[in-house]
Amino acid sequence: MLKIGSKGEEVKAWQKFLRRKGFYNCGATGRFGVGVAKATKEWQEQVGVFGDGIVGPITLAAAKADGFKAPSKKEATDAGIPSAVLEAFRKVESNGKADAVRFEPHIFVRLRPDLAAQIPYTSDRFIWSTVASETDRAAFDHAASLDAEAAIKSTSWGLFQVMGVHLLGLFGHDTGAALEAFDDDPEGISDRLVAQWFAANPRARRAANKMPIDWHDLARCYNGSQYAKHGYHTKLRKAWAAIVGG
């Protein structure tokens, strides 16, 4: 049973379900508050279930008939790493925002130097852009209108911010199919992307499964050789500790 005060992955899955159905427009925090109860009641009333704002057996059965899927650890199993480690990546990379997209103009310009004049790109002390308007979905859409494949490759996608070469790989380098699939199901595609990334990076899997976890090597594999400059390994470790309660 889920109600005000409930916490965890089941609540997060319920929030995502309500959001897909158009009753909830906040992030999936994993905390069942007043807003979630209100959205639950509105959904219950629409489908003909007693509107008490509580997810009990009858509400859950109706929700499953309406497309709700209870959370599982399948994505962690597919990735071959502990679920808490995968959740730490989710927290650090996107904070649970499934449709997160970050376009990297410096990568696009490297792939298509002939189009550099058409791509807004401010470089100061960083190689990458720190200007939101140069890295958001609108910036990606502009780049994709010039070269869709290069734009996808230059972008990190979804919950785990996996680079677009993996997204293209899922769909045989069909740019249209890749974009349509991500926009239709960003959560599902995010899970497939991170599983594919870890499948292609056995060193990262080994680091994630060590006891204790090798946060430095894991961060280096996932974030690159400059990971320590912005404390990526520390962010991962702290997120993981908060999840496991350590």
pLDDT in tens, 52-77: 999 998 999 899 888 887 765 565 66
Round to the nearest angstrom and report the end-to-end CA distance of the chain.
26
The pTM score is 0.69
Question: What is the per-residue pLDDT across 3-30, written as a single tens digit (0 to 9) for each?
Answer: 999 887 788 889 989 998 999 998 788 8
Please report the pLDDT score of residue 109 as a whole number.
Answer: 94
| Structure-derived torsion over alpha carbons of residues 112, 116, 118, 124, reported in degrees to the nearest 10 | 130
Reported as type and span, the H/E element at residue 103 is strand 101-103
Structure tokens, 121: 């790109």
Alpha-carbon distance 80 to 238, whole Å? 21
Please report the pLDDT score of residue 76 as a whole number.
Answer: 62
Separation of CA 149 from chain center: 21
Please state the length of the chain. Answer: 246
Question: What is the per-residue pLDDT across 224-241, written as a single tens digit (0 to 9) for each?
Answer: 998 998 899 999 999 999
The pairing of strands 101-103 and 162-163 is unpaired
Question: What is the per-residue pLDDT across 95-112, written as a single tens digit (0 to 9) for each?
Answer: 888 899 999 999 999 999
Please report the pLDDT score of residue 30 as a whole number.
Answer: 82
Alpha-carbon distance 194 to 79, whole Å? 7
**Residue ranges with strand state E in 115-238:** 155-157, 162-163
Please report the pLDDT score of residue 147 as a whole number.
Answer: 98
Alpha-carbon distance 89 to 59, whole Å? 32
CATH top class, domain 9-65: mainly alpha
Domain spans in the chain, listed from the N-terminal domain onward: 9-65
Cis peptide before 71 (omega within 30 of 0): no
The pairing of strands 162-163 and 155-157 is antiparallel
Please report the pLDDT score of residue 124 as a whole number.
Answer: 67
Alpha-carbon distance 240 to 48, whole Å? 40
Q: Is the pLDDT of residue 245 over 90?
A: no
Structure tokens, 205: 């899997």
Supply φ then ψ for residue 101, to 5 degrees: -135, 130
